[in-house]
Structures are given as C-alpha cells and as structure tokens.
C-alpha cells in the first residue's frame, strides 16, 4: 500500500464530524504521493521545486500516474503548484480505483460519505496495515492526517518528521488546505451578501 491509500483508508475510518472534505483530502493525497515518490528516489526537492529523476514505473497504478504527470522541464514545478494540479479530484480517483479493486464496499453503517453513497474499506491485509501504521502514529501518515484535521489540528503536522523534504511537502499541503478553506469562507460571505441584496431591506 502507498501512503496515499493508507491516508484514504484512515480518512474513511475516521468518525469525526464534520467529515473530511474531498478537496482537503485530495490535496493531502497529492502530498502523500509526492512523499512516496521522494522516498523511492523518483523525485528530489531543490528548495520548494520538484525535480524529477529518471522515469520509473511504480507498482501502484495511481502512484504511477503521479510519476507520469511530473513536470520534466526546468524551471520545475513548485511543491504547492504540484499539489493543486495533481490534487484536482484526486480523492474521487482513489475512491474509483479502490472500488474497482474491491477495497471499498457500500457501508452498512455510518462511514465517511463521498457523494450520495456511503462506503467503507474492506477488511483486507492492506487495510489492517494502514490501521497499524496509524495506531503506531507513523510520522508521515500522522502528519498528513493532521493536515486534514484527523488526530489533531494542522499545527501538529510538523512534529516527528525527521526528513526535510517530507516536512516541506507537509507544510505546503497544510498551506494549500488553509488556502482552500479561505476560498470557501470568501464564497460563503459573497453568497450571503448576494442573497441579502436580493431580499432587500
């Protein structure tokens, strides 16, 4: 299992309210993919820019897609730009892929809801591995989960990470999630003001 799939499973197992939003999760999943690519040596960071290595073929299909989408022309992409580009609808892509692989099934009870359906992870060795990694509070998984508010606020994201590149990615994911929340709040205010305008005094 990849870090992104482990994070997706932990997000689905989380019973927090409100549930993790797809946009927030998509950004964190993109960060998880980048950290796995860094760990595999497929990319490196030059400051905050993602420098691809030799093309590779990760065993995981979605991670392979991430590797294929790396910008391979200088000046290379900034980490935050990668998160926004790769993260577009990424949670939905993971849901589709994991449903297709039989790793997600319709939920019998309350689980994280994506769209109109409620789904839950199948009890597989991969899911148990993700849960074990979470229960051990493996630093990278715990940091990414905290970015989307699982197991602690985003301020808890950095502690425990001893890898500088991973720290840069987690920080960028945190900033992107905060930016997304600011956009949501601005739209809410604008929509409220527009509604008040039409209602009149």
Tokens of 91: 């949670």
- Domain positions in the chain are 3-199
pTM: 0.84
Q: Is the dihedral of CA 18, 135, 127, 177 positive or negative?
A: positive
- How confident is the model over 44-100, as pLDDT tens digits? 999 999 999 877 778 899 999 999 999 988 899 999 999 999 999 999 999 999 999
Closest CA to 61 of 120, 141, 5: 5
Residue 194: Cβ-neighbour burial (10 angstroms; 0-12, 13-18, 19+): exposed
pLDDT, tens digit, for every residue of 66-76? 999 999 888 99
Which residues lie closer than 8 Å to 40 by C-beta, 6 or more apart?
Answer: 56, 58
């Amino acid at each position: 299992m990849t870090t992104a799939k482990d994070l997706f499973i932990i997000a689905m197992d989380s019973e927090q309210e409100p549930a993790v939003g797809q946009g927030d999760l998509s950004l964190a999943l993109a960060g998880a993919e980048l950290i796995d690519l860094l760990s595999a040596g497929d990319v490196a960071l030059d400051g905050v820019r993602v420098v691809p290595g030799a093309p590779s073929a990760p065993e995981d299909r979605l991670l392979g897609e991430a590797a294929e989408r790396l910008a391979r022309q200088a000046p290379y992409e900034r980490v935050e730009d990668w998160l926004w580009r790769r993260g577009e609808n990424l949670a939905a892509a993971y849901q589709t892929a994991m449903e297709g692989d039989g790793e997600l099934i319709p939920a019998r009870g309350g689980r994280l809801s994506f769209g109109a359906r409620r789904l839950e992870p199948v009890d597989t060795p991969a899911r148990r591995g993700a849960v074990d990694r979470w229960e051990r509070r493996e630093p990278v998984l715990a940091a990414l989960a905290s970015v989307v508010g699982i197991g602690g606020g985003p301020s808890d994201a950095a502690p425990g990470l001893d890898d500088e590149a991973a720290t840069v990615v987690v920080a960028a994911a945190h900033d992107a999630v905060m930016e997304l929340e600011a956009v949501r709040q601005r739209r809410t205010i604008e929509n409220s003001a527009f509604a008040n305008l039409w209602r009149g005094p």
